[in-house]
Structure 1
């Protein structure tokens, strides 16, 4: 019986002869020499940086929500529910005001509403044209008050982390 070490050398030598005969020796050497595995430890900061570059930060996983909208599971339906609730609250507040106008008004303004990561709503900006501003000088104050009177808002989230979002909302102003 041959010792184990001589068996290994016998097996290795026979394999080399087969590879030489078939012209595969060069390929085997390349494969054996290229199987040099190297691992590199990546810090959590590097992983976060790489992931933040690949994430689409313009989209959220969950839109901000009122209590009534939290049951919406589809992203588009949740957004529509949120925007509808905001619009209804703003229109309800504005309809309680009794403005006195000298001319009839039929205009649209654009409200940029920010919901910060704590769920606090705030007007980012509002575009009110000069005619509307002259007829309703209290309009900006009423918009601020209507936003302050909104019910509790749960913020949007991205990967489970609360994030700020901004919505552009058209508001139609009609007065006779």
Structure 2
């Protein structure tokens, strides 16, 4: 009597090889669906709804009180924000900053003000929750400016 079954170790190796080949086929640098805020319609999920809600959430956290920096003209910074696969939104750092803005002072202030962002539904890749990172522009307008 002869058998030709694979050992458990050989089965694991074959499964690992198959999984690696499958991962090579899929583009893991992109997502299938954007994170979803409660206000967004899941069936009509677009990047616009996510970005609009993210911008609004960050803006509301920053406008609570004046930001103590001196600016001569309107200027901006780009924030790096991550949505974890658990759905937690987290401010990471300043991605890009104008020369006139004190990057370290603003980063410290942003770390303080953006420390308790909401939990949302995370981005998905092949129906699996994944972490994703985004860049968000924030425009600072001098208080005495008439450009409101």
Q: Report the alpha carbon displacement of residue 114 of structure 1 after superposing the two structures with TM.
A: 1.1
After the TM superposition, list the runs of 4 or more consecutive aligned residues in structure 1 that deviate by more than 4 angstroms: 100-103
Query: What's the CA shift for 1:121?
Result: 2.0
CA RMSD of aligned residues (A): 2.5
1:152 is aligned, of 119, 124, 142, to: 119
State the distance in 2 between where 1:132 and 1:89 align: 22
Please name the residue that 2:3 is paired with.
Answer: none
Contact 1:90 1:143 in 2 (8 A): no
How far apart are 1:107 and its partner, in Å?
Answer: 0.6
Distance 1:164 1:80 in 2: 19
Q: Report what 1:161 is aligned to.
A: 128
Q: 1:125 to 1:174 in 2, by over 3 A?
A: same
How far has the Cα of 1:131 moved from its partner?
1.9
TM-score normalised by the chain length of structure 1? 0.63
CA shift, 1:130, in A, is: 4.3
Name the counterpart of 1:132: 101
In structure 1, the residue matched to 2:142 is: 175
Encode CA deviations 1:107-133: one digit per residue, 9 max, x unaligned.
111111111222222233313334211
Mapped to 1, the partners of 2:14 and 2:84 lie a distance apart of 30
Q: 1:99 to 1:49 in 2, by over 3 A?
A: closer
1:46 aligns with 2:17: yes
Cα drift, residue 46 of structure 1: 2.0
Using structure 2 for the length normalisation, give the TM-score: 0.74
Report if the CA contact (8 A) 1:60-1:158 is conserved. Answer: yes
Partner secondary structure for residue 143 of structure 1:
helix
Aligned partner (choices 119, 122, 126) of residue 87 of structure 2? 119
Gaps of 5+ in 2: 1-10, 144-148
Aligned ranges 1:70-109 → 2 under 5 Å: 71-74=41-44, 77=46, 79-109=47-77
Q: Which has the larger radius of gyration?
A: 1
Q: Which has the higher helix share?
A: 1
List gaps (5 residues or longer) in structure 1: 1-40
Find the aligned partners of 1:87 and 1:56 in 2 and give their Cα distance. Answer: 27
Q: How many residues align?
A: 131
